[in-house]
Each structure stands twice: as structure tokens, then as C-alpha cells.
Amino acid sequence: LSDRMTSMQGLGYREMADFFAGKCSRERAVLRIKQNTRHFAKRQLTWFRREKEVIWINKADFGEDDLRIVQEIQKGL
């Protein structure tokens, strides 16, 4: 598979392809997947923080009451 394929751009695919090709150890591939996932999550948070219309919900305020969270979200729509 070509690393230029869109499907290979997802988290973990490139790292596992390198592992299967013998370019790195399993441990190194897992480490890189974890690092790249954290970096991706940080970029997502940065993007969301810049969006003015994002409404943040603190799950801790709702405990285990997921239905109440859904109801709060629906109120804002």
C-alpha cells in the first residue's frame, strides 16, 4: 500500500505499515502511534478553542447522567 493513499493517513496506519515492512520494532510503532495521537488531540483542542460557537460541556457536572447531557445539548440546538 502506498503511504500517499488517503486511507493510510489515519492514525496508526503509517506506523503499523513501517512495522510490517521491518522499518521499526513493534514497541517503536506503538510509541509513535501514542505520540502522534496525543499531538493530533492537541491540534483538535486548539482548533476547537478558536471556534467561537463551540459550547463546552463539563461531564463532571453531570456525573453518570448521560441522558441529561443529551438534553442539555438539544436545548442549545
Is there a contact between 36 and 45 (Cβ–Cβ < 8 Å)? no
pTM: 0.71
CATH code assigned at 56: 1.10.287.890
56 DSSP assignment = -
In total, how many domains does the chain have?
A: 1
Classify residue 1: in a domain, yes or no.
Answer: no
Residue-level pLDDT, tens digit, the chain, 77 residues: 677 888 888 999 999 999 999 999 999 999 999 999 999 999 999 999 999 988 888 889 988 889 999 998 898 77
Q: Which residues contact 1 (CB under 8 A, 6 or more apart)?
A: 7, 8, 17
Classify residue 67: in a domain, yes or no.
Answer: yes
pLDDT at site 1: 67
pLDDT at site 47: 97
- State how far Cα 59 lies from the chain centre: 18
Classify residue 41: in a domain, yes or no.
Answer: yes
